[in-house]
């Protein structure tokens, strides 16, 4: 079993950025399932993303936020969160996102809902015994 850490003020700030991102870009209550995500770099900067839902399996909001952070030079990340549109709240990452998180950022904390309210856990706790792929330089 793993330990859920209580939310910090920085976590709440990250959740708010993800919420603002999804609220500003939602497809609406009767539209496509829209998610927003935000990630924090080790330097405190935050990066947001929105999913691109598509029947072929477009990128999740978490992956878009990770890509944005990388594109803006952030290589070390501390925390990530995903939030649903229409006030659906915080969501844990899907299996594909979990695998990518542990491959690229095994020490990142993931904010997710728990029985006792939102908290954060290490990405590696979400996919125990996972295959470990190591990115290699181009």
Helix (H, G, I), strand (E, B) or coil at 96: helix
What are the C-alpha distances in Å from 74 to residues 5, 84, 116?
Answer: 24, 24, 32
Bridge partners of residue 90, in order along the sequence: 83
| CA distances to 39, 62, 97, 103, 116 from 100, in Å | 14, 10, 5, 5, 27
Residue of 36, 42, 32, 35 lying closest to 10 (CA atoms) = 42
Residues with catalytic roles:
62
């Amino acid at each position: 079993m793993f330990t859920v850490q209580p939310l910090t003020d920085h976590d709440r700030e990250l959740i708010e950025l993800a919420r603002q991102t999804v609220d500003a870009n939602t497809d609406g209550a009767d539209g496509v399932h829209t998610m927003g995500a935000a990630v924090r770099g080790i330097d405190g900067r935050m990066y947001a993303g929105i999913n691109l839902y598509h029947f072929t399996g477009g990128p999740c909001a978490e992956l878009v936020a990770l890509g944005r952070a990388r594109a803006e030079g952030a290589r070390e990340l501390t925390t990530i969160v995903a939030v649903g549109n229409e006030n659906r709240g915080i969501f844990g990452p899907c299996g594909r996102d979990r695998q990518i998180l542990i491959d690229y950022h095994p020490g990142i904390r993931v904010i997710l809902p728990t029985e006792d309210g939102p908290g954060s856990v290490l990405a590696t706790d979400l996919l125990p015994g996972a295959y470990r792929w190591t990115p290699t330089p181009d």
